[in-house]
Amino acid sequence: MTSSLVHSSVAGGVVTVTLDSPHNRNALSRQLMAEFSSRLAAAEQDPDVRAVLVRSSGRVVLRGCRSRRGAPGSEQ
């Protein structure tokens, strides 16, 4: 089972979305993007949410794309 890379909580009309993949500086992997998109979609559907705050569990909020040589969609 893969652990979650994105966590969220709601308080006072604000959803805090935390990127939790500090080992690779929250690089945009497929899993992280899917989980992030899911959290944003859930926030959009909640009528009590007025704002979304994005933060990280590590020192870097977002490094960029994560690609592996030879992986589909990666540049070589």
Q: Residue with structure tokens 């949410």?
A: 49
> Is residue 8 a contact partner of residue 46, using CB atoms and an 8 Å limit?
no
* Domains present along the chain, CATH in parentheses: 6-56 (3.30.300.220)
Q: What is the mean pLDDT of residues 27-35?
A: 89
pLDDT tens for 37-53 read 999 999 999 999 999 99
The model carries a pTM of 0.75
Rounded CA gap, 36 and 49, in Å? Answer: 16
